[in-house]
Amino acid sequence: MIRLLPWLYLAAAFAFIYLPVGALVLFSFQAGNLPVPPFNGPSTRWYADVLADDDLTGALANSLLVALGSSAVAVSLGFGAAYGLARHVLPGSALLRGLLIAPLTVSYLIVGLGLLIVLTRAGLGLSLWTAAIGHVVINLPLAFAILYASMGAQQQNAERAARDLGADEARVVLLVTVPMLMPAIAAAFFLSVTLSWDEFIIAFLLTRFDVTLPVEIWSMLRSGLSPRLNAIGSLVFLVSVTAVVILETLVFRKRRP
Amino acid sequence: MTARAERMRGWGFVAPALIWTLAFFVVPFLVMGAMSLATLEGRTLVWGVSLANYAELTEKAYLWRAILVSLEITLTVTVVSVLLAYPLASIIAFRVPPRWQRLALLLAILPFWTSYVVRSYAWLLVLAREGVVNQALIGLGLVSEPVTLANTRFATVTGFVHFFVMLLTLTIYANLIQLSPNYRRAATDLGASAFQTFRHVTLPLALPGIVTGAFLTFVLCIGDYVTPQILGGNTELTVPQVIMVQLGRRADFPLASALAIVLMGIVTLAYLASARWLRLDRL
């Protein structure tokens, strides 16, 4: 009995962890109008319903746009900063690193609140652009930290060799550093996409008419439990899991060459 | 290339990220700080240096109450999550065969990546009056009537614990897996019981992983608006919920800013309390 205890605990923990996700996915296939037991499916009517809803598909497209766009910007800026700080001697570089990492220590609500105050004071309208700006703020520190940590001596030697052979800095970066760091760049990008795709509070504070998917789901929540919400929630989960599996494969490959 | 030109080039690479962080993080943050010292007279904003908003926090019961509620929920969540996550991480690290560990860990934290909003909704679904848990309890004959689970502090705490158990399992596992099994073998050889080995060898060595995860739990939990808003009902409000109320109904940016600063103050205190064991760079 005592030997079984750890395995029972493991099973109970997994049941707890998968209970909400399981209920979410199962009742997205509910045929009736309420996503509670008894299960009377399977039916794909709610998926059809969700995919035919222009508000939802519009919000989904907005989310993808914001996630891909803001991640591309965050990774580019993060790469530049990591390269500059790892390869050039700059005064106050410890302070600079701290400053670039700082947004990580502040909750998203506060990042969003600060931007909201400044944007409304400056008389700038809220839009998908402002939400994307906020997402770059929260993802830039992560991208920078990942890329800075991966800039090792190995790349530096290859960069020196390229420079000795007459390559200018642009060529060194584009033809040597970027290809060698591709796994880290991809990891930073996918992590960034996953976080931005899911992010609610900044998008909620900084968008107005065009909204991202989590904000659209939020407004649907007011009408209570519905299998439609289950269906859209399951689709969101599927996208996140796909991104995570891609990320995991990349990191996995890097660790075991 | 001269040292000067070399440095200029370095700045060229760093500048875009630096300017972005200054313009969209540092400046908004300073403006928010200044805003917390401004006051609202009627509907017009008056800049100045006034501590009126901070004084309001101690004078108005609902604001003070929100700070207490936030602290209570956050501390409960942190303690419960650590107690549940440690055995899970330990079983995965020490009992599951090495070749299955990565898979077990990946599976244990996969729902971590569900969107915040969707995850809270899923718990609402499970805890609802006609939901899975109530139906199971009635089916087992444990209760005769549905129990009120959703829209309570219990629901908020459950939703949070679910999320943070996964986070803590990750940080604690990462710590445990780095410990050499020789330490535990040595303790056993020297006659320590399983509990003594845990208490005097494994636990002290696992402390950085536990504290790092607990700190992240504290910070993310106390700043979250979504989980208490969806699962907690409106019987009691947390600080982030009160901040959102100020923004919406009353457009009281000064008070919202002061609350945000207080939230940051609490996080800073938590950081100072745990700084000795924190290993944020190892994540």
**Contact B113/A243, CB-based, under 8 Å?**
yes
Handedness of CA B17, B21, B22, B23 (dihedral sign): positive
Tens-digit pLDDT string for chain B (283 aa): 567 777 788 888 999 999 999 999 999 999 999 999 988 887 788 888 888 888 888 888 889 999 999 999 999 999 999 999 999 999 998 888 888 888 888 888 888 887 888 899 999 989 988 888 888 888 888 888 888 888 889 999 999 999 999 999 988 998 888 888 888 888 888 888 888 888 888 888 888 889 988 998 998 899 999 999 999 988 899 999 999 998 887 788 899 999 999 999 998 898 888 877 776 654 4
Which residue, among B125, B140, B212, B224, would best test binding to A if mutated, counting the most A CBs under 10 Å from its CB? B125
Tens digit of each residue's pLDDT (9 = 90 or more) over A210-233: 899 999 999 988 888 888 889 999
The domain locations on chain A are 64-227
In A, minimum Cα distance to B127 occurs at A20
B161 Cβ contact list (under 8 Å, min separation 6): B77, B80, B81, B84
Among the listed residues A81, A85, A23, A44, the one whose alpha carbon sits nearest the alpha carbon of residue A237: A23
Six token digits for residue B243 = 């901040």
Superfamily covering domain A64-227: MetI-like (1.10.3720.10)
Q: Which residues of A touch B117 (CB under 8 A)?
A: 200, 214, 217-218, 221
Q: Is B27 exposed, middle or buried (CB count within 10 Å of its CB: 0-12, 13-18, 19+)?
A: middle
Please check whether residue B87 touches A, CB under 8 A: yes
Tens digit of each residue's pLDDT (9 = 90 or more) over A50-88: 888 888 889 989 999 999 999 999 999 999 999 988 888
Contact between A41 and A30 under an 8 Å Cβ cutoff? The reply is yes
Cβ pairs bridging A and B (under 8 Å)? 234
pLDDT at A255 over 60: no
pTM value? 0.87
Please check whether residue A190 touches B, CB under 8 A: no
Nearest to B118 among A133, A236, A244 (CB): A236
Indicate the helix (H) or strand (E) that contains B44: strand B44-46
In B, minimum Cα distance to A89 occurs at B7
Contact between B226 and B120 under an 8 Å Cβ cutoff? The reply is yes
Please check whether residue A225 touches B, CB under 8 A: yes
Report the distance separating Cα A120 and Cα A205, nearest Å.
Answer: 11
pLDDT on residue A238: 87
Six token digits for residue A88 = 């050039």
Please check whether residue B111 touches A, CB under 8 A: yes
Tens digit of each residue's pLDDT (9 = 90 or more) over A159-171: 888 888 988 888 8
Superfamily covering domain B62-282: MetI-like (1.10.3720.10)
The domain locations on chain B are 62-282
Instruction: Provide the H-helix boundaries in chain B.
Output: 3-21, 27-36, 52-59, 61-94, 98-109, 116-127, 132-139, 153-176, 181-189, 194-197, 203-222, 226-231, 239-245, 253-274
Tens digit of each residue's pLDDT (9 = 90 or more) over B4-18: 777 788 888 999 999
Report the distance separating Cα A142 and Cα A192, nearest Å.
Answer: 8
